[in-house]
Amino acid sequence: MNKSIKLGIQGRPDVPSRLFDLVPRYIEKYGYKDCLFAGKVDRQWVKYDGHKFYEMTNSISHGLLKLGIKRGDRIALVATNAPEWNMIDFAIQQVGAICVPIYPTVSHADYEHIFKHSETSLVFITNKHLYNKVSDIIASTPSIKDTFLIRPSEGLKSLQELIELGNENRDEAALEARKAEVKNEDVATIIYTSGTMGTPKGVMLTHQNILSVVEYLCPLYPIDETHDALSYLPLSHIYERAVQYCHIYLGCTTYYVDNIGAIIDTMAEVKPQHFTSVPRLIEKVYHTIVRKGHKLKGIKKTIFFWALNLAERYDETKKHNGWFYLQKLKIADKLVFKEWRKVFGGNLELIISGGAAIQPRLTKIFTAIGIQLSEGYGLTETSPVIASNSLTLGKLKSGTVGVVMDNQEVVIAENGEILVKGPNVMLGYYKDEEKTREAIDENGYFHTGDKGCFDEDGLLKITGRIKEIFKTSMGKYVSPVLIENKIKESPFIGEMLVIGEGQKFAAALIYPNFEHLKSWCNIKGITYTTDEEMIKNKDVIMRFRKEIDKYNATLGDYEQVKKFELIAKEWTIESGEMTASLKPRRSKIMQNYADLVNKIYAE
How does pLDDT run across 447-456, given as a tens digit for each residue? 999 999 999 9
CB 198 within 8 A of CB 369: no
pLDDT of residue 381: 98
Domain boundaries, the chain: 19-274, 278-466, 469-602
Q: Of 23-37, 349-363, 373-387, where does mean pLDDT reach its minimum?
A: 349-363
Give the span between the Cα atoms of 306 and 117, in whole angstroms. Answer: 56
- H or E element in which residue 77 lies: strand 74-78
Give the span between the Cα atoms of 232 and 156, in whole angstroms. Answer: 27
CB 379 within 8 A of CB 303: no
Position 80: which residue type?
A: T
**DSSP string for residues in 173-204:** HHHHHHHHH--TTSEEEEEEE-TTSSS-EEEE
CB 567 within 8 A of CB 535: yes
CB 490 within 8 A of CB 366: no
Per-residue pLDDT averaged across 15-29, rounded?
98
CA angle (431 as vertex; 60, 105 as ends), nearest 5: 55
What is the DSSP pairing of strand 201-206 with strand 428-429?
antiparallel
pLDDT tens for each residue of 245-290: 999 999 999 999 988 888 989 999 999 999 999 888 888 888 888 8
Is the confidence at residue 196, as pLDDT, over 60?
A: no
Per-residue pLDDT averaged across 2-30, rounded?
89
Give the span between the Cα atoms of 454 and 470, in whole angstroms. Answer: 23
Is the CATH code 3.40.50.12780 the one for domain 19-274? yes
CA angle (326 as vertex; 321, 329 as ends), nearest 5: 120
Q: Which residues contact 481 (CB under 8 A, 6 or more apart)?
A: 357, 462, 464, 465, 468
pLDDT tens for each residue of 470-521: 888 888 889 898 899 899 989 899 999 999 999 999 999 999 999 889 989 9
Q: Provide the pLDDT confidence category of residue 78 given band limits of 50, 70 and 90.
A: very high
Give the span between the Cα atoms of 307 and 300, in whole angstroms. Answer: 11
Report long-range pairs for 306-312 (Cβ below 8 Å, ≥24 apart): 306/332, 307/332, 307/335, 307/336, 307/337, 308/336, 308/365, 310/368, 311/337, 311/364, 311/365, 311/368, 311/369, 312/361, 312/364, 312/365, 312/368
**The CATH fold of domain 278-466:** Rossmann fold (3.40.50)
pLDDT of residue 395: 82
Give the span between the Cα atoms of 386 and 378, in whole angstroms. Answer: 5
Per-residue pLDDT averaged across 222-231, rounded?
97
- H or E element in which residue 123 lies: strand 122-125
The mean pLDDT value of the chain amounts to 93
The 10 Å Cβ neighbour count of residue 165 is 18
Burial group, residue 355, by CB count within 10 angstroms (0-12, 13-18, 19+): buried
pLDDT of residue 389: 92
- H or E element in which residue 87 lies: helix 83-94
Is the confidence at residue 93, as pLDDT, over 90?
A: yes
| Helix spans in 369-415 (H) | none
Q: Of 100-114, 162-176, 215-229, 580-594, where does mean pLDDT reach its minimum?
A: 580-594
% of the chain residues with pLDDT over 90 = 79
First to last CA, the chain: 45
Do 19-274 and 278-466 share a fold?
yes
CB 371 within 8 A of CB 341: yes
Give the span between the Cα atoms of 235 and 101, in whole angstroms. Answer: 8
Is the CATH code 2.60.40.10 the one for domain 469-602? no
Q: Provide the pLDDT confidence category of residue 358 given band limits of 50, 70 and 90.
A: confident
Q: Provide the pLDDT confidence category of residue 195 given band limits of 50, 70 and 90.
A: low
